[in-house]
Amino acid sequence: MSIHISAAKGDIADKILLPGDPLRAKFIAENFLEDAVCFNEVRNMFGYTGTYKGQRVSVMGTGMGMPSISIYARELIVDYGVKKLIRVGTAGSIDPNVHVRELVLAQAAATNSNIIRNDFPEYDFPQIANFQLLDKAYHIAKDLGLTTHVGNVLSSDVFYSNMPERNMKLGELGVKAIEMEAAALYYLGAQHGVDTLAIMTISDSLVNPDEDTTAEERQNTFTDMMKVGLETLISD
């Protein structure tokens, strides 16, 4: 086992969905996977392995923010040999054309975090998705008839910003939404040569606040991104 994951070797599949909310991981396991077995309860960060359409897959919560996802994703990659990691989470729209319950596939992730600058202070190292996963997810979503946006997102270290106008300005530059994990996941993918992608459902809108959803809706619905994520994981 690793420091934060109690699974034994072989308990985790080489492909995994990563919701931030551990209860969303439990929801996915109970509603999409067959013969799901819990492999982790440390810190209540639930993880499960089962089968989806006959293929072995896992799902595990990562918590909120880049430090948290960095811990779990790194251990999954280094200690358990996971090769495909897809974040399925929520994001807030900063684009008036991107609405609540629509999907955003993060082609790239800008960030205000120093998590990458700590390693490369002299560069603006771009955080990008694995193209094969991105391409598969886009076509799967379109085949399912889902409204899907592809583009840049902002991975922020700050949820309650004291200067939200700066974030809104990014929306004018084509950034689709704000979330808190994708850049770190993409950086780990680059470091370790594994495939990473972030699929988000818009849960609230900074430009259309009347569209916002409840905490229960965010935990137990948003199944479209779960289907797209699972189908992308098992696609050849």
Task: Give me the residue spans of the domains in the chain.
Answer: 15-234
- Fill in the DSSP letter of residue 47: E
What is the set of active-site residues? 204
Asked if residue 24 belongs to a known ligand binding site, the reply is yes
Q: Which residues in 122-194 belong to E strands, given as ranges?
A: 148-155, 177-179
Q: 180 among the known binding-site residues?
A: yes
In this prediction, the residues of the chain whose per-residue pLDDT falls under 50 are none
Class (C level, CATH) for 15-234: alpha beta
Q: Are 153 and 91 in contact (CB under 8 A)?
A: yes
99 labeled part of a ligand binding site: no
What is d(CA 154, CA 141) in angstroms, rounded to the nearest whole number?
22
